[in-house]
């Protein structure tokens, strides 16, 4: 393996986790964040996550925290941005990166839903700009969507897919730069319907979640929706769609029901109540259950810094 120089912009939830993946695989990682408090805590945060994974702390020797964007991207082979989901902020970051990074560095945004072409508006040359959409937690969920724009060079996509495979991820190529890419379009189509069912009084929020977790969700990790359509037959699928599509929610704006909850201060975990009430203990228990499930399903990716069993 050739050790690559990976620059990460943003040391929050996703940035520290993405840094950890590359460092565990033996790559050289530089990371920065504009907040001094975040910068000074990044190594401890990565160390804590390595502990949670039962992994050795050796990966930390591959990570350097620096104070500025310029120091972070100097000499980088890849620059991965994991700053807040704000188009103007991301545009400014990449305008600066395009000036400060080597001209052949590949520039990637971890945006959840914003089209990559909009984020990279000021970047030249544009062939090196693409999206790498990781999923939380990035060290456990295998998928990374590699998103191309009409200008993205084939070799930038191929090199990024190869790098991601090598560090144990499952990259997929998204051929069109559409809002939400593939994963979040699917996920939020489901959430729109889930919220509509509750808003219309068809069932309560707990029931929606039970139907997913004990029903079709139990199959999803091994049976994708289109595999499932083949399994049951496209003729049956066609018949079902004829009956149910006219009844599905087709809103093109966020749900007024969600606005009502937000207006009541019901923001979810952060306010102690969203669709349900969440004590700190219940929040911790749900997070622990999720981590246990993902660890059991996907384990920790193979790494160059730790001998394989
Ligand atoms: N949280 C998720 O589940 C998830 C999943 C996939 C993608 N994403 C996307 O990843 C990105 C980061 O999300 P997060 O959850 O890590 O957020 P976060 O708030 O945990 O971290 C963002 C970090 O970026 C820093 N930051 C602010 N301005 C910056 C700048 N100019 N340059 C560099 N860093 C800057 C902040 O100080 C903060 O530490 C967002 O675009 C988000 O939509 C998030």
196-231: pLDDT as tens digits: 999 999 999 999 999 999 999 999 999 999 999 999
Mean pLDDT value across residues 119-145: 97
Residue 300 has pLDDT above 70, yes or no: no
What pLDDT was estimated at residue 148?
Answer: 98
List of residues 6+ apart from 301 with CB closer than 8 A: 21, 24, 25, 139, 167, 168, 169
Sign of CA dihedral 215, 220, 221, 227: positive
The pLDDT tens digits of the residues spanning 14-50 come to: 999 999 999 999 999 999 999 999 999 999 999 999 9
pLDDT tier, 299 (very low <50, low <70, confident <90, very high otherwise): confident
State the helix-helix crossing angle for 234-244 and 225-232, rounded to 10 degrees.
110
State pTM to two decimals.
0.95
Domains of the chain: 5-174 (3.40.50.720), 183-298 (1.10.1040.10)
Q: How far is the CA of 232 from the centre of ligand 1 (A)?
A: 40
Q: How far is the CA of 254 from the centre of ligand 1 (A)?
A: 22
Query: For a pLDDT cut of 90, what percent of the chain falls above it?
Result: 94
Which of 7, 14, 41 best tests ligand 1's pocket when mutated (most atoms within 8 Å of CB)?
14
What pLDDT was estimated at residue 308?
Answer: 39
Residue nearest to atom 2 of ligand 1 (CA): 136
What pLDDT was estimated at residue 309?
Answer: 34
**Both structure tokens of 192:** 């729109």
Q: List the strands of the sheet with 28-32, edge to edge.
A: 63-65, 28-32, 5-9, 78-81, 106-109, 129-134, 143-147, 170-174
Ligand 1 atom closest to the Cα of residue 90 is 31
Q: How far is the CA of 111 from the centre of ligand 1 (A)?
A: 8
Q: How far is the CA of 202 from the centre of ligand 1 (A)?
A: 36
- How far, in Å, are 29, 32, 178, 233, 260 from residue 80 at the CA level? 11, 11, 20, 41, 36
Q: How far is the CA of 173 from the centre of ligand 1 (A)?
A: 22
Q: Is the CB of 13 under 6 A from ligand 1?
A: yes
């Amino acid at each position: 393996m050739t050790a690559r120089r990976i620059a990460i912009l943003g040391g929050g939830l996703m940035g520290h986790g993405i840094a950890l993946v590359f460092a565990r695989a033996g790559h050289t990682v530089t990371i920065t964040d504009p907040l001094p408090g975040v910068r000074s805590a990044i190594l401890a945060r990565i160390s804590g996550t390595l502990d949670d994974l039962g992994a050795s702390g050796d990966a930390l020797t591959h990570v350097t925290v620096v104070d500025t964007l310029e120091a972070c991207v100097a000499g980088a082979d890849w620059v991965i941005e994991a700053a807040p989901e704000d188009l103007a902020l991301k545009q400014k970051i990449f305008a600066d990166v395009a000036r400060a990074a080597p001209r052949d560095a590949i520039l990637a945004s971890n945006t959840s839903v914003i089209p990559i072409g909009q984020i990279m508006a000021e970047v030249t040359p544009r062939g090196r700009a693409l999206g790498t959409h990781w999923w939380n937690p990035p060290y456990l969920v295998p998928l990374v969507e590699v998103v191309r724009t009409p200008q993205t060079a084939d070799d930038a996509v191929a090199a990024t897919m190869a790098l991601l495979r090598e560090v144990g991820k499952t990259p997929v190529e998204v051929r069109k730069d559409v809002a939400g890419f593939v994963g979040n379009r699917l996920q939020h189509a489901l959430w729109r319907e889930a919220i509509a069912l509750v808003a219309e009084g068809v069932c309560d929020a707990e029931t929606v979640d039970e139907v997913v977790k004990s029903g079709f969700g139990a199959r999803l990790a091994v049976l994708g929706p289109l595999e499932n359509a083949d399994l049951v037959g496209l003729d049956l699928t066609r018949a079902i769609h004829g009956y149910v599509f006219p009844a599905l929610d087709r809103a093109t704006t966020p749900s007024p029901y969600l606005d009502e909850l937000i207006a009541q201060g019901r923001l979810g975990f952060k306010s102690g109540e969203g669709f349900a009430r969440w004590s700190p203990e219940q929040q911790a228990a749900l997070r622990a259950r999720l981590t246990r499930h993902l660890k059991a399903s996907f384990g920790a990716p193979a790494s160059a810094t730790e001998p394989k069993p």
